[in-house]
Structure formats: structure tokens, C-alpha cells
Chains A and B, each alone.
Chain A
């Protein structure tokens, strides 16, 4: 199912896009704070937690082009996403919780792209990150504080 949609998104460059994008996934450029927006057309029946899950999966997978200059979550990262009210909760697991060895810049990039992507969904204002099911001050070995919900304001310069 996901593969089908991805191909669809890829194909959208070659055909006239009629429906307006339902979803924008934000990626962060490596070494800077700039965001790259990639629009996705999504089945309008996808809403709530299912839509949020889809968005995060796209984020984790990465764009199809320009991958070298974009911060991605480490390969093997798992995420379970639920939404309630204006909060999207992202429970991270897998390789990312086993001692993040990345630098501060990448860490910010990851969470900024996650926050912008999810807060771009209708009604979502806050992103609560969990690490293996628990609220943590930061990723193991990380710098950024994630125990409080992240908002776009958190990344405002």
C-alpha cells in the first residue's frame, strides 16, 4: 500500500496535479536549519492517527531525490504514532534509542522535521516524543530536550 502511494507521489511529477496536496512532509537540510518541503497527495480517507503514521513513515523513509543533503532518521528507526486532541505522540524505538551517535545539528534537524511535518496536519499543534514508550529528557547520548511537547515555536530562532 505504501509502495503504491510512493510511486504515485513520484509519478506526480509527470502528470498534472489536480487535487491539492493533502500532506507536506518537511525534511531538514544537513548543516543548516532550512526545511525542504515535499508535498504528498494522500487518500482523503486517511485521517487522524492513520494520517500521522503515514506522514512519519514518509519522513523516516526520506525523499526519493536529494537524499545526500537532507537529515534523515537513522536507518532502523521505528516509530508508532497516535493522535489525540492537538497532540501527536511519536513513540520512537529501534536503532535510534540505542545511543544516538549523531551530532547536535542532525538531532535538531530530525526533530525539527518531525515537528513541522506533524504540526502541518490538521488540528495538530504539539508533538510528544517518547523513547521506547517513556518520556525522556533527551535521546540517549542526545542533546535536545524532548520531555515536553515540541512545537514549531520550539525551533523558532
Chain B
């Protein structure tokens, strides 16, 4: 009896042990991770984010990985079933991973990472942090996720006989804005790189001939860093910025225009020599960024009287395209005049217009036509142009546009590229050159109908333009982020704002407290929120001037392409009488937003409703998206101050503002 029981016991123990062992055998090292990932300030959704050995890993076929690479201008190459994954960084650096090996080769240097890519359940996983390190990204770990941003990695000075050149290199395609303040005793030139962190040091001694010092600073929230370079420039020195590659930039400082030309630079093998810039290089002072640069007017030319209406087919080709049996390619013999190529087609969507930008290799002439109702189709024929790539659809977000197609409409006797817009109602289209962007043809499709007397056809010319040294405004580079709201807690650091001595209330502390509560409320509703500051410090350079401080707040929102900008302040008056809440707006189109926030916040908080007002406040004037400035009650009024001293009142203010935002937007967009 005892022996049988003992045998049973041994058997049970063995069974349990083997179960445990088996369980360990099938245990997978990969468990799902629901962290949020931000890249250069944009949230990127990953489908197969997981964690292994304490580190985030991503599946090779994850759409999120493809988006991350696209944002930083990198490419990935992977052959299923082989043991390699290769990434090419925007600056041409090759990064090779080998499955199972913790050595990554970055160009020809090998570095160690905690672990390499591995297969699990037939799927290849890549370690996200190791990859981002190799891609030259700055990583910020926060509770709930990671934020990645490309970095400025080199800022160095090269001195020539009559000029100084600052070489700037980054790990992703560079976008920048520049500002020149010549009014101070020491003129200052600033280059701002939104979305970039700094790995290039903090100062560069400029030698004192053209400039004294160069300082590099990073500001902005960790999830959306903004790096800027500021140079003390000597009087009489001119500057020109030349893009030398997608990830590099040469800033030339010289006193004479001749020395500013790129071709005078000592030849570097990767530099594409551009033609000498003609325009005076002293750059304009800080201008408010515009979301879409203005179109130069079309050069007027007589409208051809008898324009034969070519058959506009759905795929944009005429039936006369050759179907000869001698099919060995499209072009037959040389064309009479030089062919320009359309090398790229891109789209920027704003609320009431979509801009299609065609990148060309040179000047072209074009002709456009509009069909009458009910057809409404609008097409543009670009002469002597070759489309690189196949005929394709262009995706445009305007609701009234059903489709846009571009194709190589004809090759004989002349090359013609045709772009056809098929709208559901008549649309207004403007076509022209883009200021500051040579060889780019802009086609703006507006949501509004064309003017009454609009002609039904016309011609135009994209003129030859010498490349100008003006860098592109950063704002044109990125798409808008419909789920991002930027909140700006007013004042901060060396500017405390208004103060109530009796209650010990300081405006800059209160604005931050309200902003943080508002951020929590909005994030709970599915928004992505960035604060211009998350502590008691200046948003811009603490040693900078106040103008820069105000602009810095706008930069955060503009550069990120936020949906809304909300600036939070507390009011005060020399007179203790005025009390209550006021919401300020500037653009007439923002009146509705102001009204909704004002009503909801007054209702939720119990503060007096002092109404909405239209005022030209800097931060709501210089942000390109709908923006308001909320003055949350008066520190100078005894009743309001007593409320402001209570944390629950601040909760109610935040809840009210969040409700107002919801009323205006209808809620956060679905991911």
C-alpha cells in the first residue's frame, strides 16, 4: 500500500516537473507591448510591437517600422529566409544586422548591441533600441513609450581665405528655418532644426573674423526636440545656406557675395555643385511661417482660341499611343527640344486646399483646361516633360476631389505629361511657381468653386530660376497631424507673469498646473498632446530675447504640424474689479473655437464668463493652425484668486477646456 502510494507520489512529482519543463520549453521570449512610439514628434502605430529580454522588439513586416524609416528617410532591405537585414540611413550610412549576432556593422565599424535580430514563430524580430541607436536617433524613454528623434551630429567650422563655412550634418533629411536679427548690437543668425536633437556639442569657436561664437542649444519637450544654432555675426558679414546633401548643409559666412557661392567651396566628393546664387544673402528677419508658401503669379499669355479638346480618358492616355509590334520601348529617336523630367510628385493637404508639387529638372510650359458642369474635370498638360515612374494616382485629402491621376500622356510627336483632377463639384485651381523653391510647379486645388468669370483654359510657364540660397521653410516639409494638440503654459522661467502676493499665486506655476491637467484629460480622450514646456523654464533660449521666447512656443506647434494650439494664461489687472474667464482669438475663422472653449470652460469651472475677444496676441497670430489664448480668471480679483488657490478649480478649468476642444473637433480622430 505504502509502496504504491510512494510510486504514485513519485509519478505525480515527475509529471508535474515535466509539465513545468515542457511549459518552459514552449515559453516564447516575445510578449506584446502596447507602448506608444513617437518619431520626430509624430505618433507611429506599430502592429507587432513586443518585448523580449526587457527590450522592445519590432517585427520586420510591421507597418510601424516602415513608417519610422520613412519619417527619417532611411531604407530597409531584407530577404526572407536569409540571415541579414540591411538599413540605409538618409546620409548613406549602411547598417547591417546579422540574425543571432549582437554585432551591428555601421558602415565598416562594428558595434555591440544587447542582442541581434531573431526568429520567433517564423517571424523576424529586430531590437528597436539597437536599431534606433544605429540609425543615429536620440531616444527618450517616458512612462508609456519611447520617443525617437534624428540628431544633428556634426557642426564644424572650416576656414577659408575670405570665408568661414559651417558644416552641419544630421542623421535624417534636414529641414530648417533661419532668422537673422541685424538690429542688435551684435547681429545674430539662427538656424532652427525642428524635430532634431543635438549630438554635436554646445559651442564652436568661430575665430572672430566673420563671427565670434556659435552656440548649439536644444529646447522643446523631449518627445519633440528642437535644436538651434545661434551665431554672433560681425557687421557686414553675409550668410548663405547651401544644402549639400539630403542630410547635410553648409552655411557660408563671407563679406563679399562672390565668396558666398558654393562653387568656391573646396571640392568635396559628395557635393553637387549648384549654380552661384544671385540674390543678396542677408536673410530676412523672423517671419511667421506660412503653412503653404504663396504661388508666384502665372505669367500671362494669350489663351489659345481653338484648343482641340483631347479625349480625356480615365487613365490619361490617348488611344493613339503606339501599339506597333516593334515594341521595344516608348521613345523613338531624339525629341527636338530638351526634355525636362518630373522627378517627384508630392502633396500637402491643409484644411481648405491641397497642394500638389511637381519637382522638375527645369523650366516647362503648361496648358490647362476645365470642363463645364456636370463633368468638372480639370487637367494640366505639361509640355516636353517626361514622367519618372509609371502613371499613378495622387492621393489628395480634399473631400470634393474624387481622384487625381498623373501619366505620360503622349510621347509622339512631343512628350506631354497630363495631370487630371476629377472633382465632384467645380473647383478652383491655381497653378504656378513656388516662391523660394526653384523648378517646382505648384498646383493648388482649393475647396471653393472657381470665380464666376473663370476661363476654361489657359497657358503658363514655369520659368527658369537660379537656385536661391534661401532654405526651405520647415513647415512645408511635414504633413499635418490631426491628432496632435500643443498646449502652451504661459510665461515660465525668468518670466513669472502676474503674481498674487496674498495667496502666493504665481501665473507661470498656475498655467503649468492647468496645462498638465488638460494634457491628461485630452490624452485620455485619445489625443496626442505636447506641452511647450513641462517645467518652470523658458521654452526658448534663456539668454535669448523675449521675442524669441514667444516665437519658440509657436515653433513647437508649427514645426510639429499640430491640429490646435492652446495658450494658457491667468489674467490680472491693476484694478481689482475685473474678474472671470476670457478666451482670445485672432483669425476670424478661430472665433468658433474660442466661443466653444469659452462656453464650456465657464460652465465647467463656475468662473465668471467675460466672453471671447479678438486680439492680436503674438502666439495666436504666429501659429498656423487654429489657436486661442485663454485667460483663466484674474489673480487681481479677490473672488477669482480664492478660486485659483484651489486645485479642484484648476481641475474644472482643464475639464472645461477639454470639453470645449471636443465640442469644436468632435473628438480625437480615430488612429
Contact = CB atoms under 8 A, between A and B. Distances in A.
Given A106-B573, A141-B491, A30 B578 contact: yes
Contact of A143 (B574, B610, B617, B622): B617
A34 to B, nearest CB: 12
A137 B551 CA distance: 9
Chain B: number of interface residues, binned into ranges: 35 or more
B621 interface: yes
A108 B629 CA distance: 13
Nearest to A147: B547
Interface residues of A, number: 34
Contacts, number: 106
Contact of A101 (B499, B545, B575, B610): B499
A76 interface: no
Of the candidates A69, A103, A156, the one having the most CB atoms from chain B within 10 angstroms of its own CB is A103
B636 A103 contact: yes
A23 to B, nearest CB: 25
A71 B571 CA distance: 14
A31 B579 contact: yes
A136 B546 contact: yes
Nearest to B572: A103
A24 B146 CA distance: 61
A101 B500 CA distance: 11
A156 B619 CA distance: 18
Nearest to B635: A103
A140 B579 CA distance: 24
Contact of B573 (A103, A137, A143): A103
Contacts of A101: 497-499, 572
B546 A137 contact: yes
A144 interface: yes
Interface string A117-154: 00000000000000000111111111111010000001
A104 B547 contact: no
A157 interface: yes
Contacts of B547: 136-138, 147
Interface in B562-591: 569-575, 577-579, 582, 584
A68 interface: yes
A143 B498 contact: no
23 contacts: A30-B578, A31-B578, A69-B577, A71-B573, A101-B497, A102-B572, A103-B569, A103-B570, A104-B571, A104-B582, A104-B629, A104-B631, A105-B631, A137-B547, A137-B550, A137-B618, A139-B546, A140-B495, A140-B546, A141-B491, A142-B546, A145-B622, A156-B614
Nearest to B546: A140
B618 A143 contact: yes
Given A137-B618, A144-B617, A155-B615, 20 more contacts: A31-B579, A33-B613, A101-B497, A101-B499, A103-B569, A103-B571, A103-B573, A103-B636, A104-B571, A105-B571, A135-B183, A138-B546, A138-B547, A138-B550, A141-B546, A143-B569, A143-B618, A143-B619, A145-B617, A157-B614
Given A103-B636, A140-B546, A144-B617, A69 B495 contact: no
Closest 3 A-B residue pairs measured CB to CB? A31-B578, A103-B572, A30-B575
A16 interface: no
Given A138-B547, A154-B616, A145 B572 contact: no
Interface string B616-640: 1111011000000101001110000
Given A101-B497, A157-B613, A138 B618 contact: yes
A99 interface: yes
A106 B621 contact: no
A72 interface: yes
A136 B549 CA distance: 12
B284 to A, nearest CB: 13
A155 B634 CA distance: 21
Interface of B: 183-184, 490-491, 495, 497-499, 545-547, 550-551, 569-575, 577-579, 582, 584, 610, 613-619, 621-622, 629, 631, 634-636
Contact of B577 (A31, A138, A139, A144): A31
Given A105-B582, A143-B618, A144-B618, A30 B573 contact: yes
Contacts of B616: 144-145, 154
B92 to A, nearest CB: 40
A142 B549 CA distance: 11
Interface of A is mostly: loop
Contact of A31 (B184, B491, B550, B610): B610
Contacts of B575: 30-31, 68-69, 71
Contacts of B183: 134-135
Given A101-B499, A104-B631, A137-B551, A72 B615 contact: no
A102 B631 CA distance: 12
A129 to B, nearest CB: 12
Contacts of B551: 137
A137 B620 CA distance: 13
Contacts of B571: 103-105
A69 B621 CA distance: 29
Given A137-B546, A140-B546, A102 B574 contact: yes
A114 B499 CA distance: 25
Interface in A64-97: 68-69, 71-72, 74
A102 B619 contact: no
A154 B621 CA distance: 12
Contacts of B613: 33, 108, 157
A144 B613 CA distance: 13
B574 A30 contact: yes
Contacts of B579: 31
Contacts of A102: 498, 572-574
B615 A108 contact: yes
A33 B499 CA distance: 23
